[in-house]
Amino acid sequence: MTELPPTRFAAVCFDCDSTLTRLEGIDELAVRAGIAGQIVPLTTAAMDGTLTLDEVYARRLDLIRPDKTALDWAGERYVAEMVEGAFETVSRLQLAGVAVYIVSGGLLQPVLHLAEKLGVAADHVHAVAVKLDEGGRYMGFDTGSPLARKGGKADVVRTLAAKHGTIALVGDGVTDLEARDGGAYVVGFGGVVARPKVVSGSDVFVMGPSLAAVLRVLMG
């Protein structure tokens, strides 16, 4: 693990699923659609690093095909299952002048719903948009989003680091470790799930259960 930077971070990025909320949104949508048995193992494999995001992203959505009603439902579920201390953590960082972002491989529409509740501006949310037709039916997803493929979080964080300078990312999955390649100090969070590769691969690992436990690292 590397040494903690001597100054406070100018920006902090949070993963969404199993970090700001207790849920994995795509798995919740799979349960709702009655196909959890097909989807949950793929999500677990991607978060544990045994499959790449590229290998599972389109496959899961092609099976679930979430429409507007399902996406709205998922956003409400995110809020209902918000991790303890999430609102406090975001608020304290913002009051200290830290730019707060959500950088997630989750679906943009429900992530935006949670972001609104947390007070994170929509233009500070990076996630994968679902395409809907005029009737709200599923039409695919933004295949050009870097967050739907391996290494995408590094690309997003690299852009934010160029804007802000010192930057950290808080998350629970193997994809969050990629943010280091984009210049981020990676804070692993185990308040929902502690994945062995994240425990060993983060710059620092915080168990929780409250997300506020990361403030001692982020604010010095």
Domain spans, the chain? 11-218
Beta strands per DSSP E along 151-206: 167-171, 185-189, 204-206
Catalytic annotation present for 17 = yes
Specify the pLDDT at position 52: 85
Q: How far apart are CA 161 and CA 164, in angstroms?
A: 5
Q: How far is CA 26 from the centre of its chain?
A: 12
130-40-53 Cα angle (round to 5):
55
Region 11-218: CATH code? 3.40.50.1000
Residue ranges, the chain, pLDDT below 50: 1-7
Catalytic annotation present for 15 = yes
127-191-128 Cα angle (round to 5):
5
For the chain, where are the alpha helices, taking DSSP H only? 25-33, 36-48, 53-64, 68-80, 86-95, 108-118, 152-164, 174-177, 196-201, 215-218
Active-site residue, selected from the candidate residues 17, 27, 176, 203: 17
Is 38 strand, coil or helix?
helix
Active-site residue, selected from the candidate residues 15, 172, 176, 203: 15
Pairing assessment for the beta strands 167-171 and 99-107 based on DSSP bridges:
unpaired
Residues 6+ apart with CB under 8 A from 95: none
- Phi-psi group of 174: left, alpha or beta (phi > 0 → left; psi -120 to 50 → alpha; rest → beta): alpha
Specify the pLDDT at position 192: 96
Specify the pLDDT at position 55: 86
Specify the pLDDT at position 74: 98
User: For residues 35 and 130, is the Cβ–Cβ distance under 8 A?
Assistant: no
Specify the pLDDT at position 46: 84
The answer to pTM > 0.75 is yes
